[in-house]
């Protein structure tokens, strides 16, 4: 368990897509993912388009990437320097053995080698999830050991964290264990103020789950029970109707969407826009310092 609360950022469309799926990665397996203007309200609302080509990414990769971004937010630099042990700690790993470090390096390579195309009403990005990874070598007596890891964040990628982004409670997420669907649903649900009803078939596609529908339905119910537990408290209620449509109610989370003020200004509501802008810009600044209360 982390000693202090850690917050990260993830663009809404990435958390709601199959980019970081729920299947365990197969070595050397690559995947192509396309999400183009689906009928899902949460995607159509912001005209989200996501494409990805690269190694299979799952929730372990998501935890790693969000851990990197949490350090990026704290250090306020496009070049993040961090130890492998600290990355593992942020990911919720108690073990820092050589096997865990080797796994960490492999996942960093996965993040480095893939490419995403991400478009919304306000964003247009093509590039990697990280732009560079360098691991220092340290001489300790007669041995050479791994030192700090330097991770480069693309300047264009960094713009995705200013708007249309979830300020994610990473401490809460890592406390949920290793169930891939639980971790994916945590982020998916947290990106919404109100979660629109969604069919299990659509949810299964977005989560990139390999389960048959009946098994997937069972696993979704089990995951939502975990997310409803007092230790988590994200989900406050859920139901699945006879048409296999899921409805979820949730507690408050922190989502930064700044373009609502541009819309208010365009409608001539300058005073309301100014008042709201000051309030949410202050919240956004707190989010950038990763010191928000969700």
Distance, CA of 29 to chain centre: 22
Given 116, 132, 166, the domain boundary residue is 166
Mean of pLDDT values over 269-276: 45
Q: Which of 118, 125, 109 is nearest to 33 (CA)?
A: 118
Same domain? For 264 and 137 the reply is: no
- Is residue 42 included in any domain, yes or no? yes
Q: Which two tokens stand for residue 213?
A: 């529908």
Same domain? For 38 and 151 the reply is: yes
Cα angle value 244/199/40 (rounded, 5°): 165
Can you give the pLDDT at residue 259? 58
Q: Who wins on pLDDT, 214 or 276?
A: 214
If you average pLDDT over every residue of the chain, what do you get? 83
- Is residue 186 included in any domain, yes or no? no
Per-residue pLDDT band for 290 (boundaries 50, 70, 90) equals very low
* pTM attached to this predicted model: 0.83
Give CA–CA dist 59/62, Å, rounded: 5
Given 166, 199, 231, the domain boundary residue is 166
Domain, as residue range, for 11? 7-166
Mean of pLDDT values over 49-75: 94
- Is residue 201 included in any domain, yes or no? no
Quick check: 33 pLDDT over 70? yes
Same domain? For 154 and 43 the reply is: yes
Give CA–CA dist 199/255, Å, rounded: 24
- Is residue 86 included in any domain, yes or no? yes
Q: Who wins on pLDDT, 5 or 225?
A: 225
Mean of pLDDT values over 259-284: 46
Quick check: 183 pLDDT over 80? yes
Percent of all residues in the chain with a pLDDT value above 70, rounded to a whole number: 79
Can you give the pLDDT at residue 77? 86
Quickly tell me which residue has 């190694």 as its tokens: 55
CA distances from 161 to 38, 195, 197, 243, 257 (A): 23, 22, 27, 37, 10
- Is residue 58 included in any domain, yes or no? yes
- Is residue 247 included in any domain, yes or no? no
Give CA–CA dist 228/235, Å, rounded: 5
Angle (deg, nearest 10), helices 98-113 and 59-75: 80
Quick check: 294 pLDDT over 90? no
Run of H or E residues at 118: strand 115-119
Mean of pLDDT values over 59-85: 94
Can you give the pLDDT at residue 291? 34
Quick check: 24 pLDDT over 90? no
Please, which contacts does 156-159 make with residues 24 or more away whose CB atoms are closer than 8 Å? Answer: 156/125, 156/127, 157/125, 157/127, 157/128, 157/129, 157/131, 158/72, 158/78, 159/123, 159/125
Q: Who wins on pLDDT, 145 or 89?
A: 89
Give CA–CA dist 68/105, Å, rounded: 13
Quick check: 177 pLDDT over 60? yes
- Is residue 176 included in any domain, yes or no? no
The sign of the CA dihedral 106, 108, 113, 114 is: positive
- Is residue 270 included in any domain, yes or no? yes
Specify the length of the chain in residues: 294
Task: Report the helix count and the strand count for the chain, using DSSP H and E.
Answer: 12, 13
Asked if residue 40 lies in contact with residue 19, where contact means CB atoms within 8 angstroms, the answer is no
Mean of pLDDT values over 85-91: 94
Given 146, 166, 186, the domain boundary residue is 166
Please give the tally of structural domains in the chain.
2
Per-residue pLDDT band for 142 (boundaries 50, 70, 90) equals low
Can you give the pLDDT at residue 32? 82
Per-residue pLDDT band for 263 (boundaries 50, 70, 90) equals very low
Give the number of other Cβ atoms within 10 Å of residue 16's Cβ. Answer: 25
Same domain? For 19 and 161 the reply is: yes
Same domain? For 149 and 267 the reply is: no
């Amino acid at each position: 368990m982390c000693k202090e609360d850690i917050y990260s950022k993830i663009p809404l469309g990435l958390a709601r897509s199959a980019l970081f799926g729920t299947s365990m990665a197969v070595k050397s397996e690559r995947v192509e993912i396309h999400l183009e203007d689906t009928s899902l309200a949460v995607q159509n609302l912001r005209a989200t388009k996501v494409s990805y080509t690269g190694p299979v990414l799952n929730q372990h990769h998501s935890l790693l990437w969000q851990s990197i971004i949490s350090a990026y937010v704290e250090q306020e630099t496009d070049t993040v320097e961090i130890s492998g042990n600290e990355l593992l700690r942020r990911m919720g790993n108690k073990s820092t053995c050589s096997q865990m470090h080797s796994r960490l390096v492999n996942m960093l390579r996965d993040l480095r080698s893939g490419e995403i195309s991400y478009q919304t009403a306000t964003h247009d990005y093509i590039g990697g999830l990280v732009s560079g990874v360098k691991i220092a070598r340290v001489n300790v007596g007669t041995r050479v050991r791994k030192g700090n890891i330097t991770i480069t964040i693309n300047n264009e990628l960094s713009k995705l964290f200013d708007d249309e982004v979830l300020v994610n409670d990473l401490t809460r997420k890592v406390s949920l264990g290793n169930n891939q669907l639980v971790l994916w649903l945590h982020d998916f649900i947290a990106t919404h103020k109100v979660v629109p009803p969604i069919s299990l078939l659509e949810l299964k596609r977005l989560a990139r789950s390999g389960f048959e529908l009946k098994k997937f339905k069972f696993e979704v119910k089990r995951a939502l029970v975990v997310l409803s537990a007092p230790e988590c408290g994200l989900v406050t209620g859920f139901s699945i109707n006879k048409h296999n449509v899921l409805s979820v109610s949730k507690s408050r989370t922190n989502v930064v969407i700044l373009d609502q003020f541009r819309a208010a200004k365009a409608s001539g509501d300058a005073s309301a826009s100014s008042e709201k802008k000051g309030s949410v810009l202050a919240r956004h600044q707190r989010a950038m310092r990763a010191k928000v209360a969700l």
